[in-house]
Amino acid sequence: MAEQALINPRIVTWARHRAGLSEDSLARKLNVKNVKKVIEWESGESRPTFKQAQNIANITSIPFGYLFLPEPPQEELPIPDLRTVANRHVDEVSVDMKEIIKQVMLKQEWYRDYLIKLEEPRLPFIGKYNVNDSVFDVAQDIRDTLGVPLPQKGSWEEYHRTLIKGAEQARILVMRSGIVGNNTHRKLQVSEFRGFAISDDIAPVIFINSSDAPTARLFTLIHELAHLWIGSSGISDLEHSHAEEEKFCNAVAGEFLVPQEAFHRIWNPELGLVTNLTEINRQLHVSKLAAAKRALDCRVIDAETYWKYYRAELNAFRNQKGGKGDFNINAGAKNSKLLSSAVVAEALSGRMLLRDASNLLGIKPNNIKTYARKLAL
């Protein structure tokens, strides 16, 4: 008979709740035919084998040693949670969101140490403004720093790519993913968060949840840039924006993408919503969703109209059928080209072990050289 693991039953219950699993779903994931087994493990009537305990830890995404602790550990988010509903902070935080923040912070810490060794200067625009400053001044300063003026031609997709390139040229890591690591079964939920920023004057980071509609990610990018300009780290929802920093960053993003003067010049109250959004898209080269958000900010449409339009955009994105895409391109987005280039250069020069580069980037060691060639294109 396999040796039983002397785990703490309370930790199993805590881990299951933390992972958002019912007794039935945990039993299915463990390939345990009778859910009564899980119930007995949580009550202390029986104990799992060491192999089963290891599987519990893997499925619930906790270190194996946690199962033997006398009490569940206290877990706090390492960056401020600015998500609010009816002026109250959101208490529920998924395991996946915690994990993606942890992964991003590990990458940011490595890159920060790397830049310090190179004696790179501090970035003057981090925390340059505060929420009492002019929204117009902050929006213009972001444009000037990124070297990206209002678009005069091209599509909003091209504008989005140009902004990301400008941000990374300004030494801001921009990371984008809709899953935790490379695990396609651990999808990040847009309903939980749309992005977050880590304000740091050596190695600032923006993370964008790419499970969101592509047209919405453009607004999230500018919103998170505004966080850096006021020196504010935090997790953003954008839908329930009662926190002072969130309202300010929303206003900056709106002004950045669709200046107030241009909006009122183009918007015709005698025309329908779609016609107006199409015209703003044609003249300012921003997405129709960004134009709709600006219409909400300027109070020419109500919140119900905006969120109905947003949900339609999100559902259209989710209903699209497509492949998994190029792994190297996805890895570049997930890690940011800026971080990727630094890690690859260190690994290929021999100053960093391929194994360590692999762990940091989520790429197999024997694929590092291939990834390097893709980055150079």
pLDDT tens sequence for the chain (377 residues): 568 888 899 999 988 888 878 899 899 999 988 899 999 998 989 999 989 999 999 998 888 999 999 888 877 777 777 765 444 455 567 888 888 999 999 999 999 999 999 999 999 999 999 999 999 999 999 999 999 988 878 888 898 999 999 999 999 999 999 998 888 888 898 888 899 999 999 999 999 999 988 888 999 999 999 999 999 998 877 565 567 888 899 999 999 999 999 999 999 999 999 999 999 988 888 889 989 999 998 999 998 999 999 999 888 888 876 555 566 677 888 999 999 999 999 999 999 999 999 999 999 999 898 888 888 75
pLDDT at 90: 54
CB–CB of 121/280 below 8 Å?
A: no
Could you tell me if 272 and 349 lie in one domain?
no
Please give the radius of gyration of the chain, using alpha carbons only, rounded to the nearest integer: 23
Task: DSSP for 59-77, please give it.
Answer: HHT--GGGGG-SSPPP---
Could you tell me if 254 and 192 lie in one domain?
yes
Could you tell me if 253 and 132 lie in one domain?
yes
**For residue 74, is it within any domain?**
no
pLDDT at 33: 86
Query: What DSSP state is assigned to residue 185?
Result: E
Could you tell me if 338 and 313 lie in one domain?
no
Could you tell me if 152 and 206 lie in one domain?
yes
Q: What share of the chain is helix, strand, coil (3-state, %, to 5)?
A: 55, 10, 35
pLDDT at 323: 53
Q: What is the pTM of this model?
A: 0.82
Could you tell me if 361 and 285 lie in one domain?
no
Task: Mark which of 300, 319, 338 sits at the end of a domain.
Answer: 319
The strand pairing partners of 297, in sequence order, are none
Could you tell me if 45 and 13 lie in one domain?
yes
Give residue for tokens 């945990």. Answer: 26
Could you tell me if 58 and 134 lie in one domain?
no
**For residue 202, is it within any domain?**
yes
Measured CA to CA, the distance from residue 322 to residue 115 in angstroms comes to 38
**For residue 154, is it within any domain?**
yes
Phi-psi region of 171 (alpha: psi -120 to 50; beta: other; left: phi over 0): left
CATH number for the domain harbouring residue 56: 1.10.260.40
Separation of first and last alpha carbons in the chain: 57
State the residue range of the domain holding 337. 327-376
**For residue 78, is it within any domain?**
no
Give the max Cα distance, the chain. 79
The kind and range of the H/E element at 198 are strand 195-198
3-state secondary structure of 191: coil
Could you tell me if 29 and 148 lie in one domain?
no
Measured between alpha carbons, how far is residue 281 from residues 22, 68, 91, 212, 329 in Å? Answer: 46, 57, 37, 20, 28
Could you tell me if 110 and 55 lie in one domain?
no
pLDDT at 88: 44
Q: How many CA atoms lie within 13 A of 318 on its CB side?
A: 12
Q: At what angle do helices 303-319 and 288-297 cross, to 10 degrees?
A: 160
**For residue 2, is it within any domain?**
no
Could you tell me if 332 and 301 lie in one domain?
no
Q: How many domains does one find in the chain?
A: 3
**For residue 356, is it within any domain?**
yes
**For residue 164, is it within any domain?**
yes
Please give the single-letter amino acid code of residue 330.
N
pLDDT at 325: 58
